[in-house]
Amino acid sequence: NIAGLFFRKYRMALKKRAKRYFFSFFFILFLLASRSSALQNAQTRDFSNVKVEWKTLDEFPAVQTALYSERQLLIRCAKIDLTAPGLKIKMYPQKLNSSETYYAEEFSQKSGAVLAINTTPFYVRENGAKKRHSTAGLCINNGETFSKAISGYCALGFFGFREGSDASERRAAIFSSQKDKELESADFAAGGFWQILKNKKTLQFKELRDSRTAVGLDASGTVLFIIAVEGEIPSKSAGLTYMECAEFLRALGCENAMQFDGGSSTQMCVNKKSVLSYKNYVKVPALLGFAFD
């Protein structure tokens, strides 16, 4: 009996050990497969030969749009001549400590913007069933500051857009820090996350792909490029890394570029309609639009 009991315990121990090794073996296989998949997904896309077919908006020749697509990638593109006669900038927020939120389509219809995107990242604070949104970074609307600057984040500033200014005076600039002194004289400014392209040099970040809202400027600062990269349905479009956004914008003709809020916040509207291939369900408190008299 003692020998039989010992044998049964020994056999059970062997089974447990075999089971443990079995799961360990497949766990290692899973990690190796995941690593292989991650390496494949992290391969940087090559945009050195990017070509897009720009189409001018009817009635608004200063605005052009394009769709860039390749395997598992959709990028909505726009560019706008900031010196165009009658151009007006529209922005939210429009008051201090604003908690108003909108879809880009709502903002476009309300403001009359023919082109609109989301901009500054934001906080969401919950108080029971209520949610309060507040912008996390600089927002200057028509010379008034409605959200404070964050030194570690970047910003897009517009100059020469005051009432009565000549169109030839208009320009925009990207600043690595929202506390740059020059931004104090901006007519409009929208904070983002980080500058990704500086003097045509791509800056380095972690290789994480997602939906992206990014903007860039040519050397003169008078042509603004905008991209909305889809990434919410990875099987259709897997998104881009920050560096890939920088490379894409450089290929379009940008010298400097930056990131606005991305992920599920990414939105772009043209002629008051979303151009994304999926429905956006996130209302945001900070938006930028362009309208014409």
Q: Which residue has the tokens 């007006």?
A: 88
Per-residue pLDDT averaged across 91-113, rounded? 94
Average pLDDT of span 43-57? 92
For the stretch 173-184, pLDDT in tens is: 999 999 999 999
Among 78-82, 129-133, 231-235, whose mean pLDDT is lowest? Answer: 129-133
Integer Cα distance of 260 and 195 in angstroms: 9
Task: Say how far apart CA 1 and CA 27 lie, in whole Å.
Answer: 39
Q: If we measure between CA atoms, which residue out of 284, 291, 292, 293 comes closest to residue 139?
A: 284
pLDDT at 1 over 80: no
Taking residue 99's Cβ as centre, other Cβ atoms within 10 Å add up to 15
Residue 155 neighbours by CB distance under 10 Å: 28
Decide: helix, strand or coil at residue 239: coil
pLDDT at residue 29 greater than cutoff 90: no
pLDDT of residue 125: 87
User: What is the torsional sign of CA 138, 140, 143, 146?
Assistant: negative
Q: Which amino acid is at 156?
A: L
How far, in Å, CA of 272 to CA of 11, rounded?
Answer: 72
Determine the average pLDDT of the residues in 124-130.
80
Nearest in space to 224 (alpha carbons), one of 134, 156, 136? 156
Q: What is the pLDDT of residues 10-26, one digit of tens each?
A: 555 555 555 554 444 44
Instruction: Tell the residue number behind the tokens 């509207």, with chain if given.
Output: 269
Q: Starting at the earlier edge strand, list the strands of the sheet with 223-229.
A: 55-57, 60-70, 73-81, 223-229, 212-217, 256-259, 195-198, 201-202
Q: How confident is the model at residue 126 (pLDDT cuts 50, 70, 90)?
A: confident
- Predicted local confidence at residue 26, as pLDDT: 43
Element housing 104 (H / E): helix 104-111
pLDDT for residue 95 is more than 50: yes
Q: What is the DSSP letter of 240?
A: B
Contacts of 136 (CB under 8 A, 6+ apart): 120, 121, 122, 123, 150, 153, 191
Phi, psi at residue 75, to the nearest 5°? -125, 120
Question: What is the three-class DSSP state of 29?
Answer: helix
Question: Whole-angstrom Cα distance, residue 96 to residue 111?
Answer: 19
Cβ count near 87 (within 10 Å) = 19
pLDDT tens for each residue of 99-109 = 899 999 999 99
